[in-house]
Structure 1
């Protein structure tokens, strides 16, 4: 999903329920890499997360870092990967300042052919398992905090 689709999708889902979720995990922005300068993208992402946080202060937000890929659709791989690192670094600080959680994916590396489908973008079963375990551990951390 492109980042610009995150808030509209959240608002559409929210209109179908009585209240916001207890925990919102956001993994988006990778498809937006290369479509605008990295710091512009990071700024838009930060501003929208700040709005979400202020609208729903009781909702825990977990930001999932943009993962490495073997193939980037919108630019040369080296440049887009550098931009990805810049966006992730910026967002980790911004999300931390909001008191939200960051989900990192250090085991998902572009050179590991055992975790990607042939398209070089999507994860295979093994890669998806690693991805989901990273998310699960942070969600469990949030749940443990809420019970203390």
Structure 2
């Protein structure tokens, strides 16, 4: 991801890069949920630092959390129309 963003930034230096955080889910399709969520937080943190260093911006999604089932479809991964509106 970093290499792709660096390439874009070099090619279009006037462009502002904005990163959207990886949101929480009610279910992860594979792996241990605790470890995957920890990795999600790590990726968000590392990429936020990187993008901010390029004078970019970050979009956080504090209202999209796993304990709000009404925001997720039955698969517990994808967002409902209401979840998408908040996103």
TM-score w.r.t. the length of structure 2 is 0.93
**RMSD (Å), alpha carbons:** 1.0
Q: Relative CO higher for 1 or 2, CA cutoff 8 Å, sep ≥ 6?
A: 2
Q: Which residue number in structure 2 is paired with residue 106 of structure 1?
A: 62
Q: Which residue number in structure 2 is paired with residue 96 of structure 1?
A: 52
Q: Which residue number in structure 2 is paired with residue 87 of structure 1?
A: 43
Aligned residue pair count? 87
Which of 113, 116, 123 is the equivalent residue of 2:72?
Answer: 116
Q: Which residue number in structure 2 is paired with residue 55 of structure 1?
A: 11
Residue ranges of structure 2 left out of the alignment (5+ in a row): none
Question: Shift of residue 47 of structure 1?
Answer: 2.1
Over 3 Å off, 4+ runs: none
Q: The residue matched to 2:18 in structure 1 has which SS? A: strand
TM-score w.r.t. the length of structure 1 is 0.56
